[in-house]
Every structure is written in structure tokens, then in C-alpha cells.
Amino acid sequence: MAAAILHFGDDRCPALPVLRSAGYRVEVSDSIGHLRTKLQTGVEPDAASMTDESGPERQEAVSLVRTTTAASLILFRSPDGDALPDFDRDPFEAEFDLIVPCWVLSSEWLSEVSMWLSNPG
């Protein structure tokens, strides 16, 4: 069965069509309320994802994922973001299991996501 990914907010990379074409089941949650409902009443996803431009609710979304599921948390860094995580500048990034810069070729980051979901941690 294909891994399930629950994405919060907009897909500004765009990563979701690439994930879907690779066979992942991707569902989008566009609000904290919808995310909460999906995490508390739905089937637990293998991963949750968002972009770094998900807005003011992003920390609430991360906290919600971390407290209600064991799913991996993936950050798709927007095309204008830095290449590498900067935890001193943005401690929010330390919350993520995997950070994927969107400027990297999709074949490369898709391979990284696949390896991570196959062997988290």
C-alpha cells in the first residue's frame, strides 16, 4: 500500500503533484480545524508535510501533528528559501524530520522522501 501524506496549507513548491505521480496518497488540509479532524478521526498518515510559507498557523500545525500522531514531519522549503536549514535563525525548522529544498530536482528529493518514509529516523 502506498504511503499516505497529509499536507497542511498551500503547496508552493509544488511538491504534491510529484508525490502523487510517484504513487503516494496525498491529502490536503487547508485549515487547522480540518487538520485536527483528519488527525483525530482519520487513518494515521505516514507523514505530514507543509511548506515554510504556510502562514501564522504553521507552529500550531506542527504541534498538532507532534501531539496526535507518530507521523514523520516534512518541510518543503519554498523556492526562495535558503538551501540549508538554519536552526539558529529559525528554530521552527528543528521540529521537522526532513527538510526538502524545492529548488532541488524533484527526482532527488523524491528519492530522499522515499528513503525517509521507508526507514524513518
CATH (domain of 36):
3.40.50.2300
Range of the domain at 64: 4-118
pTM: 0.84
Summarised one tens digit per residue, pLDDT across range 16-40 is 999 999 999 999 998 999 999 999 8
pLDDT at 36: 93
Q: How many domains does the chain have?
A: 1
CA 98, 60, 51, 7 dihedral sign is positive
pLDDT in tens, 63-111: 999 999 999 999 988 766 555 555 455 666 778 888 888 777 888 888 8
Confidence of residue 54 (pLDDT cuts 50, 70, 90): low
Burial string for 13-32 (b: 16+ CB within 10 Å, else e) reads: bebbebbeebebebebbeee
The CA distance from 95 to 59, in Å, is 9
The contacts of residue 17 (CB under 8 Å, 6+ apart) are none
